[in-house]
Structures are given as C-alpha cells and as structure tokens.
Chain A
Amino acid sequence: MSAELELVAGLEVHCQLATRTKLFCGCPNGAAGSEANTAVCPVCTGQPGCLPVLNKAAVALAFKAALALDCGLAGRSVFARKNYFYPDLPKAYQISQYEAPFALGGEVRFKAGGSERRARLHRIHLEEDAGKLLHAVGSRELDCTLVDFNRCGAPLIEIVSEPDLRSAEEAHAFLTALKEILLYAGVSHCDMEKGELRCDANVSLRPKGASVLGVKVEIKNLNSFKAVKEALEHEAGRQAGLLASGGRVEPETRLWDAGKRRTEPMRSKEEAHDYRYFPDPDLAPLVPDPRWIETLKASLPELPAARRARYAESFGLSEYDAEVLTSSSSLGGYFEESVRGLPAEAVKTCVNLITTELLGRLHAEGKAVEACPLAASSLGSLASLIFKGTLSSKLAKEVFAKAWETGKAPEALVAELGLAQVLDEGQVRGWVKAACGANPKAVADLKAGNERAIGALVGAVMKLSKGKANPGLVNRLIKEEAAA
C-alpha cells in the first residue's frame, strides 16, 4: 500500500450462542455435525401456522455478551423480519433485529503494534441462523442443491464494530480479544472451524489522517483468524492498486477465497440489500426485567483484562506472562491452582514451567488445558522442588516428562528414580576432583584466566554425577579447586 493511504475497517462478527436449544424452538442447538435434518421441527422448517417462542437462555447469553463488552442494554428491543428468497431460509425471512437492537455501543480493547488500541462497537443484535446448503458430495458436483436445516434457527448474536480498525493486524488482534471475552463470559464456544464464530469485514482506503471514509467494500466468508488477516491485506492491496492506476473502488460485496487467497466479486446479484425489514408480528418486543439484568451482571466471571491486572498486581507477573496465562480462562485457573501455597519467590518458576514445558507439551499433543494429564498441584510441587534446590531445571524436565506420562506425583518420582540433586559438598567435591584430574588442560586454562574453560569441567562433573550435582555448588567447588 502506498504510504499516504490508510486502511479503514470494521468487522461484523456472528457468534453462535452456547444454548441447548435453538432461538425460537426446542430443537437441539449445535447439531450441525449430526445427520441432516434430525434437529428440525415445524417452527424451524417454516411450516405454516407455527409460532416462534424466544429462548430465555439465548437472551441471557446475548445480554451477558453485551455486558462483558460494555454495551448499553436497550430496555426494549424488537424482532424484525428480514425478507429474502433463498433455499437456506424456509420461511423466506430471517428473524433478526433491525431498528431496535438489544445492545448499543461498547468497545473492545486490544494490543497491536506494541500499543493499546480500542475499537468501538456500533451495536449487537440477536438473530437466527439459516440452514446449510450442499452443492457437492465430496468432489462430485450435484445437479441439484440439498438442504439441511439442523443449523436453521440456531441462536446468533451479530456484533458490529465501528470502522476503527487501521490494519489487518489490528483486525486480527480485535477478533482475538473479542473471542477471549466471549469465551470467558461463557457466551459461545467460538469454534471458528465449526462456524460458531464467523466474520465479515467492511474495508476502505483513505488518505492518511483524513476524516471522510472511502468507498466501502464488504468482504464475506472470513472463517478463520488467518482469513481475516490475509483478506484484509489482500483487499487493501487491491484497492490501492486500483486507486494508483487511476481507477475507482466500486461499492460491492466480495467473497474471500481462502484457497486462491484472493477476494472475488459475489456471483449472485442479490437484489441490492432490499430486505424490506418490518417488525415481526409473531413476537412481542423484548423487555427484560432490570432485576434479571442485575443478576446476569453479577454472574459474569472475572474478564481477561481484570485478570491480567490482578496477576500483575498479586503475583508480580510480567505483562507477557500475564497475557499468556490469561489467554484462556481454564489456563488461568490451572495457573492459580498450581501456585496455591507456593512461596511468592517460586511463582516465577511455576510460570516458566507452564509457559515452556506445559504449553509446549499440550501444543505438541494437540490437547486443551482441560485434558492436561498433569494435575495443577503436581506442577506446583515440581516448581517447589526446583525452588528448594532438590531438582536442577534439567532434572525437573525429566521429572516433568515422567509425571506427564505416568500421572505420578513429582515427589514420588524423585524418590523412585533417585533424581534428587546432590547438595552434599563432600560428594560433589569428589566428582569435581575427578573431573579436574581428567581434564588438566581445562584446569590450566581456567587458572590462566579463561573463564570459559569452566564449561568443560562442569560438563564432566555432570556426566560423573548423572546430572545430579547441584550446578551452583559445582561451579563454586571448581573455582576453589582451580584456585588451590
């Protein structure tokens, strides 16, 4: 992109609420992977004469999302019919909210390019999902379209941001922070692969520092974090190229093709958003009891930003460590349980074990923290053994691996494997003397002032002690030996 242009983007995020049933009927929610049309009923397949009845849990989760995002809650919101013809929509309208959404305003804070940024939210509204269309079976293109309504009527919230994002990186960071908050608040499972979080973007370019907005292009089909970043980078490049060559950006809707990594104009000429919204006469306005809202507010857990601040404050964690440990609610819970009862000085040791060993291992095995085979209390004991000097960090790794595989407590493993560090001065001195005797050149170098020669001697001692000699003690005794 040329230097004088800046990207202006806003996101529209659809998030599937983690309820048991659909938005307006008792069919199970989240049956998208089951056999086609097994979670359907007259309401969600649009049979004549049915009436929708709003799901209380969906409203509760939607309100919790709004409260967690600092939105203002409307005392009265109205469901509207969005009319269009497409086979994924059996009623030929989608029940959504239009003029009177349930939440307005709000913001998401995130970090991008090393600085604190925030994007304002425009609104959040409740709506039902559409069904799923099948155009091919495997690689075989069908000569018809097949329709599965399992997902039809699933409860969604659509979160619309203001055009406050200035780069693809910011959009990515915004979405990451938003997802974190929604997960913490228990609003959604936010699994993008399952379509529980979907994203469209509005993208335009303008001269840097200008306050007017450029011509806006809507990009649909951003179904992963990577897609959001790549599509915005690509679209910014495309628009800059058009402008640089004297062309014009057309206001249009484009689809992101993740395979070809480019946006393409939408093929179907949908009658330019003429949805003829009107209030749904089947549903009365949603007027929540303020006392219920207070209960929902009180039920919100500690959110990531508050938790990060608390970790910095009460455990003295660095910003980076606090961020890693709060990246999911369950990881934070694991951390807090592991440091319970640990002396303050050992907390950092414990944090290091989590951020390096534990997360590395979980990542390699594709496991979530919830499925971690090592109990949080065991990790705490391991940190304590390192802190007390019983284990060197090298031996701790060995104990960690064994505890991971066997589920045994670290203390028991140390005893069983005879891995405790040797702190006995006499015993360590014996190894040091033997090592010095076997490496006269290293000793001579060390005597001559070459500090680096100590490495070879430490290595020799560790070999003799099978890694059990306490490194601090080894260093001191080698220096004493060389000075003698």
Chain B
Amino acid sequence: MKISPEVVSKIAGLARLRLTEEEAPLYQSQLGAVLDHMADLAGLGAAAVEPGAGAPGLSSVLREDEPEAFQGREELLANAPEREGPYFKVRKVL
C-alpha cells in the first residue's frame, strides 16, 4: 500500500522525529509494507474474530489500595538529564 510523503511527514511530526531527505522515502516504503502486512491479515477472513490488544480471555487484575512508599526517589531524579532541587528540569514550555 502506498503512503504519501505528506502522511509520512505528519506521522514523523506527531512522533517528534525530524526525518532527513534520505530517511523520508525509506520510512515511506517501510510504513507501506506494514500496511501491506495488515491487508494480508484482513484477507484471512478474520472478520468474525473480536479485535483484541492482548491475550484473549484475560481480565484486569486489581490491586488493593495500600500505599507503598518507593525508596529510590534519588535514583529517579538521577535518571533525568537535568534536575533542580527536588524537581525534574526541562526546557521552558511556556
């Protein structure tokens, strides 16, 4: 299935990716191949199968509402590129 260069650029934008001129046609063909694969699946007569995102027949496991203090706060902050005191620091967004 053919995907237009405009759609590729929109998808890249939504994913915050800047594609070079060489990369754009590459992704264009790869995304097309993904859709071709989906079309193959659609051709298998799976219309009667419930769409699902996980293993079928499972339902949510629930957790009791008991607080559990996590002790590794410093490690979490250390994982960030930048911090300021107790805060994660990012580029100005406003």
Contacts and interface: CB of A to CB of B under 8 A. Distances in A.
Interface of A: 19-21, 25-28, 35-38, 40-42, 45, 47, 53-59, 76, 78, 83, 85-87, 133-135, 142-149, 267, 271, 274, 276, 278-281, 283-287
A40 B53 contact: no
A20 B66 CA distance: 7
B79 A47 contact: yes
A24 to B, nearest CB: 8
A147 B90 contact: yes
A286 B59 contact: yes
B59 A42 contact: no
B67 A142 contact: no
Contact of A144 (B61, B67, B89): B89
A42 B53 contact: no
12 contacts: A21-B66, A21-B68, A28-B67, A37-B88, A42-B70, A145-B94, A146-B87, A147-B89, A148-B87, A281-B53, A284-B59, A284-B60
Interface in B26-73: 52-55, 58-70, 72-73
Given A19-B65, A21-B66, A37-B73, A149 B53 contact: no
Contacts of A146: 84, 87-90
B64 A38 contact: no
A278 B16 contact: no
A54 B89 contact: no
Nearest to B94: A135
Contact of A26 (B68, B73, B77): B68
A278 B53 contact: yes
A296 to B, nearest CB: 13
A36 B87 contact: yes
Contacts of B76: 37, 40-42, 45, 47
Contacts of B93: 86-87, 133, 135, 145
B14 A274 contact: yes
A147 B88 contact: yes
A27 B67 contact: yes
A317 B52 CA distance: 55
Contacts of A36: 85-87
Contacts of B79: 47
Q: Classify chain B: how many residues form its interface, as a range.
A: 35 or more
Contacts of B66: 20-21, 26
A244 B70 CA distance: 58
Interface of B: 13-14, 16, 52-55, 58-70, 72-73, 76-77, 79, 82, 84-94
Contact of B86 (A28, A38, A144, A274): A38
A21 B14 CA distance: 32
A285 B65 contact: no
A144 B60 contact: no
A56 B13 contact: no
Contacts of A147: 87-90
Given A38-B86, A40-B70, A285-B59, A135 B65 contact: no
Contact of A55 (B13, B53, B65, B73): B65
B10 to A, nearest CB: 8
A134 B81 CA distance: 17
Contacts of B64: 56-57
Contact of A285 (B60, B69, B84): B60
B76 to A, nearest CB: 5
Given A135-B92, A145-B91, A285-B59, A58 B53 contact: no
Contacts of B84: 144, 146
B78 to A, nearest CB: 12
A174 B36 CA distance: 50
A58 B58 CA distance: 20
**Top 4 A-B pairs ranked by shortest CB distance?**
A26-B68, A279-B53, A57-B65, A41-B70
* Residue of B53, B69, B72, B92 contacting most chain A CB atoms (<10 Å): B53
Contact of B61 (A133, A274, A279, A284): A284
Given A41-B76, A274-B14, 20 more contacts: A25-B68, A28-B69, A36-B86, A37-B88, A40-B73, A41-B70, A42-B76, A47-B76, A56-B62, A59-B62, A78-B53, A87-B88, A142-B92, A146-B89, A147-B87, A271-B14, A279-B54, A280-B53, A283-B60, A287-B60
A41 B76 CA distance: 8
Contacts of A37: 73, 76-77, 86-88
A76 B84 CA distance: 43
A385 B70 CA distance: 58
Contacts of B86: 35-38, 148
A148 to B, nearest CB: 6
A53 B65 contact: no
Contacts of A83: 14
* Residue of B60, B69, B84, B91 contacting most chain A CB atoms (<10 Å): B60
Contacts of B13: 271
